[in-house]
Amino acid sequence: MLYFLQNENYKVGVESLGAELQHFIKLDEQLEFIWQADPNVWASHAPNLFPIVGELPDAMYTFQGNTYPMLRHGFARHKEFKLVDEHHDKLVFELTHDDETLAQYPFKFTLLVAYILEWNKLSVTYLVRCDDDHAMYFSVGGHPAFNVPFYPNENYTDYYLEFEQEETLSRYLLNEQGLQNGDTERVLEQERVLHLNHEFFEKDALVFKNLNSEKVALSSSTNPRSVEIEFQGFPYLGVWAKPGPSQYLCIEPWCGIAGRVGESGELQDKEGIQEVGPKQAFERTFTITIL
C-alpha cells in the first residue's frame, strides 16, 4: 500500500512493501526526483538494505557454527512492513522477525524505517533494535535512485556529484559476483566534483570508504536544481546505476559493505558489520534535500 506525505511544495510517497520510498515530487513543476522503477531497466526505486549490505561469498554466512543463506542486500526490501505511526509530516514502518527471517538470520529484531518531510528535506531514519538476549550483528543502508536527468532536454553527462569537501578518492572494486576483490581505482585527486558517465558502472558500483565529506549533491551544469544527500554516521557510500544508457543514479549511504574475496564468512568478522546488544537499539539518519 502506498502512503503519502505532503506540504505546500513537495509530495512524498512510500510503499509498505519494503518501506520503500517511491516518490519525491516538487509540486509546482510536477517534477519527480525518484526513479520510477522501469522493469526493463531496474525495477526498484529506493530499497532499504537489511540485515546485510551487498553480496556475501556464495550468498551465505556462518554464525555460531551454523551456515545461513542470504541474498544480496538482505530480505527487508522484499518484506511487507506495518505502518505504526502516521502524521501529516511523518510515516513510520515496522518489520519484525518471523519464521522466514529466522531461517536466514537467527536473531529476533525490530527494524523501524521513519520518513519525516520538513519543507524540502526528507529524513530517512533506521532504528534497529535487538529483541534477543544476546548481541545481534547486522548491516543497514539506503539505496535511493534519482532520475538523471531531471529535465527531458538534458543529458546524463550534464550531471555531476559535488562532495562537501575536497576528496582524494579511490573506488573499491568488485568482482563479477559483487565481492570486493582487493583492488582499487583512483577517481578523484584533491577534488570535489565527479562528472557522471555511464562507463563508470561497467565495473559495478563506485564503492567509497573513508570520505571526508558527510554530504554530496547531485547537480547539473544546465539547470540550478540539485539533490543533496547528507549521510553523517554512515561510513560507506555507494554510487551505482545499471551499466548502459540508464537514466538514473543511486546514491547509497551504508552501515555495511559487500563481502571480500577470501573472507572467513563469519558474520561477526565481516567488514562494516554493526553490533547491538540485547534489548539495545542502533539508529542512523540520512537526508534527501531538494535544492
Segment 121-154, tens digit of pLDDT: 999 999 999 999 999 999 999 999 999 999 999 9
Q: Which amino acid is at 239?
A: V
Q: What angle do CA 159, 114, 289 make, to 5 degrees?
A: 25
Using the predicted structure, report yes or no on whether residue 43 has a pLDDT greater than 90.
Answer: yes
Cβ-Cβ contacts under 8 Å for 29 (sequence gap 6 or more): none
Which position has the grid cell 516538487?
26
Collapsing DSSP states into helix, strand and coil, what is residue 172? strand
Side-chain-side CA neighbours of residue 270 (13 Å): 30
- Decide: 214 and 199 in contact? Cβ < 8 Å: no
Task: Extract the C-alpha cell encoding 55.
Answer: 553480496
Using the predicted structure, report yes or no on whether residue 244 has a pLDDT greater than 90.
Answer: no
pLDDT at 285: 98
Mean pLDDT of 206-233: 97
**Helix and strand numbers, DSSP H then E, in the chain:** 1, 23
- Decide: 188 and 168 in contact? Cβ < 8 Å: yes
d(CA 21, CA 227): 15
Task: Extract the C-alpha cell encoding 198.
Answer: 555511464
Which position has the grid cell 543463506?
69
Mean pLDDT of 169-195: 97
Cβ-Cβ contacts under 8 Å for 42 (sequence gap 6 or more): 35, 145, 241, 242, 246, 248
pLDDT at 144: 98
Confidence of residue 117 (pLDDT cuts 50, 70, 90): very high
Residue 33: which of 12, 9, 4 has the closest Cα? 12
Residue-wise pLDDT for 54-75, tens only, equals: 999 999 999 999 999 999 999 9
d(CA 94, CA 92): 7
- Decide: 126 and 76 in contact? Cβ < 8 Å: no
pLDDT at 66: 98
pLDDT at 234: 98
d(CA 22, CA 33): 9
173's enclosing H/E stretch is strand 159-174
Using the predicted structure, report yes or no on whether residue 284 has a pLDDT greater than 90.
Answer: yes
Mean of all residue pLDDT scores within the chain:
97
Cβ-Cβ contacts under 8 Å for 99 (sequence gap 6 or more): none
